[in-house]
Amino acid sequence: MSDLPQITVIARDGATSVLQQSAGQESLMQLLFDSDQGVEAACGGCASCATCHVYIAEDWVPRLPPREQVEDLLLTYSEHFDKSRSRLSCQIAMKPELHGLILEIAPEE
Ligand code: FES
């Protein structure tokens, strides 16, 4: 059995899917992008577009590294910013500890 993490994603239409990381998907954004979850990732992951915005399930928020300043700044410009749950998925590195993560895709900007 693969030890690559599986995460649960709630799409914008409310549909829930379980996705498994594949080799080469180093960030959460890459996993979502490759799985056609409507994550545009216009800047390619350099924290300058906010089109990879997701909401992390409340109980998972403290288990992730906190937002860096650049991520925080960009997200506060989003009209869909949720102070407690918003993250740029490109700024979250995929690792085994993320197994079981639950997130929701934020509305389009
Ligand atoms: S992909 Fe552009 S900010 Fe994440």
**Tens-place pLDDT, residues 26-85:** 999 999 999 999 999 999 999 999 999 999 999 999 999 999 999 999 999 999 999 999
Residue at 1 is within a domain: no
Looking at the CA of residue 52, tell me the nearest atom of ligand 1.
Answer: 4
Residue at 79 is within a domain: yes
Residue at 51 is within a domain: yes
Pocket of ligand 1 (CB under 6 A): 29, 41-43, 45, 47-52, 88, 90
**Tens-place pLDDT, residues 47-64:** 999 999 999 999 999 999
Put simply, whether the predicted model's pTM sits higher than 0.85 gets the answer: yes
| Cα(38) to centroid(ligand 1), Å | 13
pLDDT of residue 1: 55
Residue at 34 is within a domain: yes
Q: Looking at residue 14, which CATH number applies to its domain?
A: 3.10.20.30
Q: How far apart are the first and last CA of the chain?
A: 38
The token pair at 8 is: 């649960």
pLDDT of residue 109: 81
Residue % of the chain over a pLDDT of 70: 98
Residue at 46 is within a domain: yes
Burial of 2 (0-12, 13-18, 19+ CB in 10 A): exposed
Q: What is the number of domains present in the chain?
A: 1
